[in-house]
Structure 1
Amino acid sequence: MSDDSSAASVPQRGHDAAERILVVDDDPQTRHMVVRYLLENGFQASGARDAREMREALGAIDVDLIVLDVMLPGASGLDLCREVRQRSTIPVIMLTAKGDETDRIVGLEIGADDYLAKPFSLRELLARIKAVLRRRGARPSSVGSTVQSLRFNGWTLDFARRELLSPAGAIVELSTGEYDLLVAFVENPQRVMSRERLLDLSRNRLAAGFDRSIDVQVSRLRSKIEADTGPPMIKTIRGIGYMFTPSVHKP
């Protein structure tokens, strides 16, 4: 990569324990500004201008989170987010045009963990990065602190490994947001919960301003755990929110 915020800047930090953030944006001013700010706040950070440089960076270093602009030359940020989701669970924060709800909905539908509209505050971006990384690394706060896993309808949610196993024993990939939402459901089975309560429980309060974010995450979770036939596991309670219908128990 040719710009001075490329992956080559990462080793200069010399902090192996610091999270590595990849900033993908074709605007050099934005890219350099974000990379510099993240470096100043204790992260390892590097930049990429387009799909080619992003793929090169992902092949060269272990990345803990991607800040990904929607509007990129060639392959769009949405295309790249979909590509990332097909092979990993690296958290992705999308940068979208101000007020463009369509990009935000599509981004969440294909697996983005959060979004931020341009122009944005660097402090807010930093807060969102920390929140996503904290949710990714955190153990569940209540049930998960004493129980290693829970089962429902043949499925197993492993808190220690942060993995969901299907009734056939296959690992089902979940984004950070989907995992946190499922934890909120299995910790509160057969209870009606409002969207606001689900936002609180899934540690996703930063997304509260976008009230359709929970609906999108629920839709994605349903597509992964519900069969085409049979009663729904996540029931919509019109005008209120959702209810997780299965019985939940220890293995």
Structure 2
Amino acid sequence: MKKMEAKEINKNFSAHILVVDDDKRLNKLLEKFLIDNKHYVDTAKNAKSARKKISVISYDIIILDIMMPGENGLDLLKYIRENYNTPVLMLSAMNETKNRIAGFEIGADDYLGKPFEPQELLLRIKAILRRTEENKLKPKENNTLIQFGDILYDSELSIVWKNNKKITLTSKENDLLNILVKGKGKTIDRFILINNLKLGARGIDITISRLRKKIENNPKVPSYIITIRGEGYALPKSLLEIQ
């Protein structure tokens, strides 16, 4: 079955959003609030229902609660990241650092602890959608397919192929890898990454770690994303080859 794009459903809405939370009351409140703010909204009460909806509709963003009975939000996030590029904003009543880190390590684009101000949620959604749209509007280069080592990378599609296996990157992972590739072997200062990716120092560390797990043969002894102690990161120039 062909997946439906959000724009095919209703052109009068800004974005098509899926809210996944077992709290029926919160689902209804978020649905009304987001619709009032010109978004088209679907809801799912559990991971099983969400999987069905995701398989047939290309959402602009998914708002996903961590704590759900059965398959929890982190497990569902892992499934989404393995199969789709859809941005994911995590919600959780457990406002602990370890839960935020777990979500970011799997591939969440943002995180908001419960309780939260609806206006803050709206602003975070707008920020994620703006970054997504900016990536779409970036000028297309003549050569977007890059080979380094046994990795084939397409920055436009946010995809790498390793040993003929397709690996999907999150928007942050793709932005980071693209910056390193364009650096052509030069060391990219951590502060440049922080400013460009709009992440804190810890967020950069998490994104680097997550990306290494996806593309390195041995993430603990990286050969692609090299740490230049006290300076930043680099992709060895000797590995780069434009196809």
TM surpasses 0.5? yes
Aligned partner of 2:91 in structure 1 is 95
Amino acid aligned to 1:127 = L
* Aligned mates of 1:169, 1:133 — CA distance in 2: 31
3-state DSSP of counterpart to 1:171: strand
Count of residue correspondences: 234
Distance 1:35 1:189, change over 3 A: farther
CA contact (8 A) 2:155 2:174 kept: no
* Aligned mates of 1:79, 1:119 — CA distance in 2: 22
Question: CA offsets, 1:73-95, max 9 Å, x none?
Answer: 22211121122223323221111
Q: Is 1:77 aligned with 2:73? A: yes
CA contact (8 A) 1:178 1:221 kept: yes
Aligned with 2:218 (options 220, 228, 238): 228
Aligned partner of 1:212 in structure 2 is 202
* Aligned mates of 1:146, 1:131 — CA distance in 2: 29
Aligned partner of 1:6 in structure 2 is none
Distance 1:90 1:121, change over 3 A: same
Amino acid aligned to 1:228 = N
CA contact (8 A) 2:186 2:237 kept: no
Amino acid aligned to 1:191 = K
Q: Is 1:121 aligned with 2:117? A: yes
Distance 1:124 1:97, change over 3 A: same
1:141 offset after TM fit, Å?
A: 4.9
Q: Is 1:150 aligned with 2:143? A: no
1:221 offset after TM fit, Å?
A: 0.8
CA contact (8 A) 1:15 1:44 kept: no
* Aligned mates of 2:20, 2:189 — CA distance in 1: 35
* Aligned mates of 2:22, 2:40 — CA distance in 1: 20
Aligned with 2:191 (options 196, 213, 216): 196
Aligned partner of 2:3 in structure 1 is none
Aligned partner of 1:241 in structure 2 is 232
1:170 offset after TM fit, Å?
A: 3.8
Q: Could you state the TM-score of these two structures normalised by the residue count of structure 1?
A: 0.78
Distance 1:73 1:98, change over 3 A: closer
Aligned partner of 2:128 in structure 1 is 132
Q: Report the identity percentage.
A: 35
Aligned with 2:168 (options 167, 170, 173): 173
* Aligned mates of 1:188, 1:155 — CA distance in 2: 17
Amino acid aligned to 2:107 = G
CA contact (8 A) 2:158 2:168 kept: no
Unaligned runs of 5+ in 2: 1-5
Q: CA RMSD in A?
A: 3.0
1:120 offset after TM fit, Å?
A: 2.4
* Aligned mates of 1:197, 1:114 — CA distance in 2: 20
Q: Could you state the TM-score of these two structures normalised by the residue count of structure 2?
A: 0.80
Aligned partner of 1:41 in structure 2 is 37
* Aligned mates of 1:27, 1:130 — CA distance in 2: 23
1:140 offset after TM fit, Å?
A: 8.0
Distance 1:48 1:120, change over 3 A: same
CA contact (8 A) 2:88 2:108 kept: yes
* Aligned mates of 2:137, 2:149 — CA distance in 1: 21
Aligned partner of 1:250 in structure 2 is 242
Amino acid aligned to 1:136 = T
